[in-house]
Amino acid sequence: MQNFVNRRSIMFKVNQLLLMLAGISVASCYCPLEDIRSTGKCEFFITCINTIRDVSLPPTCLEATNYPVSVHVTLNEAIDRFDNDVDINFLSTITFLKISANWKESSLALLQYTSRLRFLDLAQTCLERLSGSPFYHLSRLMELNLSHNKLTEIKDLFVFENQPNRLKKLSLAYNAIGDVPGYAFEELSSLTELDLSYNIISDLTEEPFYNLTKLAILKLNNNRIKDLNGALNSLRNLKHLYLRGNEIQNIDDSSLKIIEHLETFDVSLNQLEKIKPIMFSRHWNHFGNHSVCKIILSENQISNIPNATSIEISSRYVRNLDKHSVDIFTELDLSANSIEKIEYNAFQSLIRVISLNLAQNRIVEFIVNPDDLACVKFLNLSSNYISHLYFKSFYRMNNLHNLDLSYNRLDFIPDMTFNNNYNLKLVNMTYNEIEKLDGLHITMFHPEGGVLDLSNNGLYELKVPYGEGMRLVTLILRSNNISDCSLVNLQHQTELQYLDVSKNLITWLDKSSVYLPSSLVRLDLTCNNLHRIGPSSFGSLENLQYLYLGHNHLTEIDYGTFEGLSSLRNLDLSYNRITYLDSKFFMDLKSLQTLSVRSNAMQFLDYKSWYYHKNDLQVYVDNNNLTCEWLRNALADFHNGYSRMEPVVLISSGRVNSVEGIPCMVDDSAALTDRSYNTMTDERLLVVTKKILEALEQQTNFLMYFRHVLVDKPKHVKSSQSSA
């Protein structure tokens, strides 16, 4: 009773608080009651329409409090006028304000009373011009978002009453700003992040960032900048610079002295033709522990990567990382250029390169100093003209995890190429010219297992000898020219679990043509030309759980086809030409739970052998010619517990000729019924009889136990006592 009273008291106080927030004029619905939420002491989330009216805070959250006051207001469909009925005292409590409107010009008069505002979001308000100095009174403002508008001018916009102000983050992205005056950000000395991306800025000669000495992140991507003209050289604390999508043709020391301080240097999608030594140089004193230096030069017009100069090499060793106790790693992206040649010592000035992307270039030979790439984990060489791999380039890459060699001209894998690479997780060699492999020449993959993709090569033969490909877990041979399965010998890959041989030319399988390891869990043979599968073809795959045989030309299943697959759970026979199927052919599949026979034009499925199946079995029968009579009987047997087989479809149908949403054919003939239905009743009787016998056996065992406990045992105890 006491708990009930307490709950009623709490609910009364909550309702009283919400009513106070809603003000005295609930009917006006400027700030509807249902759009007011309180998530803690003096923390409120309020949504208003048109203007902010008829809402106030409870007295406990006004003036001095022992806990912070946080008021988040979202003003939708805002009107650009100041309403005299607005509670000025309430405006002064707002800490977060988001406005959505359709303004062309505004003075934001409302802001002169929001003195405690810390976060202001004016994105997507269609603003073309802000008049006056709308942020003048916002001395506590920390973040300002003016992105996704139509602003063209920002001069005299960022003027504040108090100096220094607290603004840390400013976004002007996605506007139409073309001119940035030298004094535009003069008062924003506390700014740490500035976003000017997606504008039309072309000239920085007035050096508008000279006073932003605390700036750490500067986004100038997607503008029309042709030359930096030293406009960023005063930004000594800048760590992340984004210049993607401009028209820059040259970067040197005079245009960007602070390049050595940068952790992120993105100058992709510009018009650079040469790599200057300064682009790779970094001064590690400006980096924190575990820093990753990202140098992104992709989508330019670079044709050559020259050797590092002696000055760069010497400075690399002078910058002793151990002395500063910091871990620095480098990620270098040179993709989508026109690189034809890479000098041997091209990467010598870089320290601890962990990612190197050279995709989509014109590289014919990849021969580099292996010492410079000893730490690399991700190497992308796809979409080049590489026809040969060299051991001397890879032998020091002991940490290599991901290697992408797709879309090249490789026709074989040379001996010893990857003999020292024991940590490969993913090797992509798709879309090359490899037709025959007598070995992978990869001794061992990563301890967690490796993936090798050889799809789209024209491969017809693959034999992996003992001692190679250890710890290979996934092998993908999709879309090749494999016609004889006996030419794929993988029996020594004892850790292989997933094999994809889909979209090949295999026409038949038998026991003598399958050389696969017993460790296999998934085998995909979809989209081949399979006409026949002989007995015991998969007999050695005792751990196989998923077998995909869809989209082939199978017309029948024979006895023993699935012999040995006692662990198989999922079998896909969809999109074949099987018109009749008997469940007795699946008796070896004791663990089968899902069978798909979709789109076979099947006329009859005899399921009587599944009356005694171990698990419930779902059979997908979409798009076949099964009769409604068969379907009704099959569903009735499942629902009544005679059969463990349940016919299902992926998409239920509302057609007239359907049973429980499963489409079926109306068949007046009794031919199919006579074929097998006459045995169903006997099978059902056997099931019922078996259940009765099991019940009788259970009851008999109980009676025997009862007799032993209550009759025989007391006699035994009494006899023992007499003897004593």
Residue 296 has pLDDT above 60, yes or no: yes
Q: Is the dihedral of CA 713, 715, 718, 719 positive or negative?
A: negative
Choose the weakest-confidence range: 80-89, 411-420, 464-473: 80-89
Tell me the C-alpha distance between 591 and 517, whole Å. 20
Q: What is the 3-state secondary structure (H, E, C) of 657-704?
A: CEECCEECECCCCCHHHHHHHHHHHHHHHHHHHHHHHHHHHHHHHHHH
- At residue 150, φ and ψ (nearest 5 deg) are -130, 30
Higher pLDDT, 652 or 95: 95
Residue 285 has pLDDT above 80, yes or no: no
Choose the weakest-confidence range: 126-140, 319-333, 664-678, 698-712: 664-678
Residue 242 has pLDDT above 90, yes or no: yes
Tell me the C-alpha distance between 265 and 297, whole Å. 8
Q: Return the residue matching tokens 């010619």.
A: 625
Nearest to 95 by CA among 25, 200, 166, 11: 166
The two most distant CA atoms of the chain are separated, in Å, by 117
**Where residue 11 falls among pLDDT bands split at 50, 70, 90?**
very low
**Where residue 671 falls among pLDDT bands split at 50, 70, 90?**
very low
pLDDT digits (tens, 9 = 90+) for 169-189: 999 999 999 999 999 999 999
Higher pLDDT, 58 or 355: 355
**Where residue 192 falls among pLDDT bands split at 50, 70, 90?**
very high
Q: Report CA dihedral (48, 53, 57, 63) to the nearest 10 degrees.
A: 120
Nearest to 284 by CA among 190, 351, 343: 351
Q: ω into residue 58 within 30 of 0, thus cis?
A: no
- Please tell me the predicted confidence (pLDDT) of residue 287: 76
Under 8 Å CB-to-CB from 710, ≥6 apart: which residues? none
Going by DSSP bridges, is the β-strand pair 658-659/662-663 parallel, antiparallel, or unpaired?
Answer: antiparallel
Nearest to 147 by CA among 169, 128, 164, 122: 122
Judging by beta carbons within 10 Å of its beta carbon (0-12, 13-18, 19+), is residue 494 exposed, middle or buried?
middle
Indicate the SS3 state at residue 47. strand
- Please tell me the predicted confidence (pLDDT) of residue 27: 38
pLDDT digits (tens, 9 = 90+) for 383-428: 999 999 999 999 999 999 999 999 999 999 998 889 899 999 999 9
Under 8 Å CB-to-CB from 398, ≥6 apart: which residues? 374, 420, 421, 422, 423
Higher pLDDT, 325 or 40: 40
Amino acid identity for residue 687 in this structure: V
Under 8 Å CB-to-CB from 25, ≥6 apart: which residues? 53, 54
Indicate the SS3 state at residue 722. helix
Tell me the C-alpha distance between 115 and 92, whole Å. 5
Tell me the C-alpha distance between 626 and 605, whole Å. 8
Choose the weakest-confidence range: 311-325, 328-342, 399-413: 311-325
pLDDT digits (tens, 9 = 90+) for 353-377: 999 999 999 999 999 999 999 999 9
Residue 137 has pLDDT above 70, yes or no: yes
- Please tell me the predicted confidence (pLDDT) of residue 668: 53
**Where residue 223 falls among pLDDT bands split at 50, 70, 90?**
very high
DSSP of 155-178, one letter per residue? TT-S--SSSS----EEE--SS---
In 10 A of CB 174, how many CB atoms? 19
- Residue 624, token pair as written in the block: 């076949």
- Please tell me the predicted confidence (pLDDT) of residue 2: 43
- Please tell me the predicted confidence (pLDDT) of residue 119: 98
Which ranges constitute the DSSP H helices of 127-236?
none
- Residue 581, token pair as written in the block: 């199927």
Mean pLDDT, the chain, as a whole number?
87
**Where residue 682 falls among pLDDT bands split at 50, 70, 90?**
low
Q: How far apart are the first and last CA of the chain?
A: 63
- Please tell me the predicted confidence (pLDDT) of residue 4: 38
Tell me the C-alpha distance between 389 and 397, whole Å. 14
- Please tell me the predicted confidence (pLDDT) of residue 614: 86
Q: Average the pLDDT over 551-575 and give the result.
A: 95
Indicate the SS3 state at residue 22. helix
- Please tell me the predicted confidence (pLDDT) of residue 148: 97
pLDDT digits (tens, 9 = 90+) for 683-709: 555 555 555 666 666 666 666 655 665
- Please tell me the predicted confidence (pLDDT) of residue 531: 95
**Where residue 3 falls among pLDDT bands split at 50, 70, 90?**
very low
Higher pLDDT, 709 or 2: 709
Tell me the C-alpha distance between 236 and 250, whole Å. 21
Q: Report whether 207 contacts 227 (CB < 8 A).
A: no
Amino acid identity for residue 333 in this structure: D
Please tell us whether the domain made up of 546-685 is placed in CATH 3.80.10.10: yes
- Please tell me the predicted confidence (pLDDT) of residue 652: 81
Q: Average the pLDDT over 285-302 and give the result.
A: 87
**Where residue 205 falls among pLDDT bands split at 50, 70, 90?**
very high
pTM of the model: 0.85
Q: Report whether 61 contacts 116 (CB < 8 A).
A: no
Tell me the C-alpha distance between 16 and 113, whole Å. 27
- Please tell me the predicted confidence (pLDDT) of residue 316: 54
Residue 513 has pLDDT above 50, yes or no: yes
Higher pLDDT, 311 or 717: 311
Amino acid identity for residue 50 in this structure: N
Choose the weakest-confidence range: 234-243, 308-317, 335-344: 308-317
Nearest to 409 by CA among 379, 385, 430, 391: 385
- Please tell me the predicted confidence (pLDDT) of residue 712: 58
Tell me the C-alpha distance between 347 and 339, whole Å. 14
**Where residue 616 falls among pLDDT bands split at 50, 70, 90?**
very high
Q: Which helix (H) or strand (E) holds 633?
A: helix 628-639
Higher pLDDT, 376 or 25: 376
What percent of the chain has a predicted confidence (pLDDT) above 70?
A: 84
- Residue 305, token pair as written in the block: 């990567």
Residue 474 has pLDDT above 80, yes or no: yes
